Structure 1
């Protein structure tokens, strides 16, 4: 525990019956907010489907980063999104120091916000935290202070990248030790958690799902292509933040080896200028279109109108864009990042490259489009990735944790009475 916790008297949470809806406090800075409506939408989607099953209720505590003169924060905003109450207190995120200060700053902000919520009559059974660092670290401190169990979902770079730094690694390992249970969104991510010291019995693999009602093939497809300015030539789509690890530059660099193919890049970020410069340098700027960030509800039209979706990320826990594209009937060419081989297991889905280079991207696209799968078969494959199994798995984890916590409290009480 950090120095900020010294002197605290931790309350003992009274045992609660496991029957009935589980009351969650979902905690994550990776969650949509008024200023960043697409940020962490995959966390929101999983929660929406879980709550929709009726076995859980949730209030969301989603702090937003802020620093004087840089903006980015939504203050003490409280909003309702998709029927979920979401609190957005601000936490201080100094430029260049966020990796070091985020856990303590996030904890202090969340602690104050949660204290106010409890004073107003709010209560919950379990902390449902997302991302090991900094969110999971702060969640463990909150759970210890307020006497609540904590389940943390690991999602990608919190296992594959951040542990490469000494201080975050130590904090992540402490969070792993302090969590009552851990959820990994892929088998590869589970292996990463075990390598960090997580006991195997503490980790449950629950892959992400896809909203099959939202992500559907456009009908008619040719009309969707025309509406988006697509001609008869093959069209590739790459979706994600414009940052280096998403690998959009590999797809741009593959275009000289793919004459006649066009590329749409959906997303926004600091690499926009570099991608445009690369396209000009390679002489393919007339075949690259940076569409910008798109509302989540508009993505199916883009996916479904393309011939193939290319994921060239260097790191992913489980790339939601794979399932989204396939649900729209569009096969994928995916990098061998964690989760890719678990998501792409059939020729109907597309293929996984052995490495992530421009040459591999070009070869993968040529191979896929030389004999593309039937789009109905691609959609049918994606239908096996609904949210029902994942939601049931979450509830099993939550109820097991609550039962164990109630049993421990009961045993402590029995010993005290003796």
Structure 2
């Protein structure tokens, strides 16, 4: 019997944001590739009311097709109203109201067996309301900021908890995330650890010297992959750079924090040794990972960052903070170091790796258990179990 899955995700790529939620899309494609599963994706798009919606930044979102085939997936993109910077709590209500008619229509045509919410907020509370309306069970996956941020905010914490209470099953991107959910008050018995995957055929070993020559990189290179936001800790890397005199720091990502980082680099006199790469298309990341000697990401919080696993798959050791699933991933010394969120500690760890580079195959070995096939097997079994229990 084929499982009919409604996948709800506010984190899903589109033509205007190709890097947005690529890991969710890859997980959806893996599940949909199984003959036992039929997957329909609803990826709601938030737009502010008129006249704010006329701002140029929203033009590309307005132009998105409301239904399309996206890499063999059927994806619906209904719009819902948002209030930028202020509407976190209200997004649950506006999104539910906007997408419920579409969900009812699709359910009438071919009944869904289960709802898979890809993120805990706002997807989780919305899935809970859809579940009540349709009379079918739902699951929610916790990935990081959805628990660490929305699960701690006064206006949204209760909604996150209620979504967890009402779910037939829960997923956590790491065991550390599972423990965070339990500390919040969620039922430990419902939570299954569901690791991310990495495409080992795309993120693969390459000759570092050749990769550097191709990209015209010179000398030791430290790469940081992540949105330019305070939580990711790029400022700590900039502050560590004066202690790493020959190192070039490359920041792959975009965000409003860039100006702060540029000013800090100028203040410390290291602006000539920092490169801002912007938002790098996901398929181009492997060659940049391959050219880097170290990938550093001293985040204040994470679930289990995809950039960690992708770097290791390319044979690039990582320097990361003790957050999320860091200790679950770094199971061997060759893979890298876990450090305090302190510039001196970060610089010391990076220099130690530069002075004694580990074997690339040994680094890559730490990533080999994170396959999309394993991810898809676990997700299918999880959702099948939920649907079977509800019958």
Following superposition, the deviation at residue 163 of structure 1 comes to: 2.2
1:76–1:89 Cα contact (<8 Å) kept: no
Task: Find out whether 1:396 has 2:381 as its counterpart.
Answer: yes
Given that 1:78 and 1:85 are in contact with CA atoms closer than 8 Å, whether structure 2 keeps it comes out as: yes
- 1:279: how far off? 0.7
TM-fit CA distance, 1:45:
1.5
Where 2:76 maps in the other structure, the secondary structure is strand
Following TM superposition, by how much is the alpha carbon of 1:322 offset from its aligned partner in structure 2, in angstroms? 0.6
- Between the aligned partners of 2:291 and 2:310, the Cα distance in structure 1 is 13
The residue correspondences of 1:330-349 to structure 2 (distance < 5 A) are 330-349=316-335
1:45 and 1:327 map into 2 onto residues whose CA distance is 17
3-state SS, counterpart of residue 215 of structure 1 = coil
Q: Is the 8 A contact 2:223 2:289 kept in 1?
A: yes
Match of 1:238 among 217, 220, 224: 224
Which whole-Å CA distance do the structure 2 matches of 1:73 and 1:181 have between them?
34
Query: Aligned partners of 2:142, 2:25: CA distance in 1, in Å?
Result: 15
Correspondence for 2:86 among 60, 79, 97: 97
Q: For the Cα contact (< 8 Å) 1:75–1:89, is it kept in 2? A: no
Match of 2:26 in 1: 45
Aligned to 2:214: 227
> Cα offset for 1:37?
1.2
Structure 2: stretches of 5+ with no match in the other structure: none
- The aligned counterpart of 2:95 is 106
Q: In 1, distance between residues paired with 2:201 and 2:17? A: 24
CA contact (8 A) 2:331 2:366 kept: no
Larger Rg over CA atoms: 1
Distance in 1 separating the partners of 2:215 and 2:110: 47
Distance in 1 (CA, whole Å) between partners of 2:246 and 2:36 is: 51
- Please give the alpha-carbon distance, in whole angstroms, between the structure 2 residues aligned to 1:248 and 1:377: 27
**Contact residue 34 and residue 74 of structure 1 kept, 8 A:** no
Q: Secondary structure at the match of 1:299?
A: helix
d(CA) in 2 for partners of 1:46, 1:104: 27
In the TM superposition, residue 74 of structure 1 has moved relative to its aligned partner by 4.7
Whether the 8 Å contact between 2:203 and 2:314 is mirrored in structure 1 is yes
| DSSP-derived class of the 1:48 partner | helix
Distance 1:358 1:73, change over 3 A: farther
Alpha-carbon distance in structure 1 between the residues aligned to 2:128 and 2:386: 14
Deviation of the 1:260 alpha carbon: 0.4
Tell me if the contact between 2:104 and 2:134 (Cα under 8 Å) persists in the aligned partners. Answer: no
More deviation in 201-210 or 367-376?
367-376
From 118, 135, 146, the equivalent of 1:130 is 118
1:2-17 aligned within 5 A: none
How much has 1:398 moved relative to structure 2?
A: 1.2
> How many angstroms does 1:284 deviate by?
0.3
Give me the whole-angstrom Cα distance separating, in 1, the residues matched to 2:301 and 2:332: 22
Shift of 1:35: 2.0
Say if 1:116 and 1:74 are closer, same or farther in 2 by CA, change over 3 A. farther
Give the one of 370, 374, 379 matched to 2:359.
374
Match of 1:144?
A: 132
Q: Does residue 78 of the first structure (1) align with residue 64 of the second (2)?
A: no
Deviations 1:147-186 (A, max 9, x none): 1110100111121122222220111111011111000011
Which of 186, 189, 207 lines up with 2:174 in the alignment?
Answer: 186
Contact kept? 1:247, 1:313, Cα under 8 Å? yes
Task: Tell me the SS of whatever aligns to 1:85.
Answer: strand
Residues 388 and 258 (structure 1 numbering): CA distance in 2 closer, same or farther, change over 3 Å? same
2: CA distance between counterparts of 1:42 and 1:299?
A: 14
Deviation at 1:76, TM superposition (A): 5.2
- The Cα shift of 1:203 comes to 0.6
1:324-347, Cα deviation, whole Å (9 max, x unpaired): 011111111111111111111111
Q: Once superposed, what is the RMSD of the aligned Cα atoms?
A: 1.5
Partner of 1:257: 243
- Provide the secondary structure at the position in 2 that maps to 1:163: coil
| Residue equivalent to 1:209 | 197
- Following superposition, the deviation at residue 193 of structure 1 comes to 1.0
1:88 correspondence with 2:70: no
Quote the Cα distance in structure 2 between the aligned partners of 1:21 and 1:249.
49
SS in structure 2 at match of 1:177: helix
Number of residue pairs matched by the alignment: 383
Match of 2:156, SS? helix
Q: For the residues of structure 2 that align with 1:321 and 1:94, how far apart are their CA atoms? A: 31
Q: Which runs of 5+ in 1 are unaligned?
A: 1-19, 407-418
| SS of residue in 1 equivalent to 2:333 | coil
Contact 1:65 1:73 in 2 (8 A): no
Kindly indicate whether residue 5 of structure 2 is the aligned counterpart of residue 24 of structure 1.
yes
How far apart, CA to CA, are the structure 2 residues paired with 1:151 and 1:229?
46
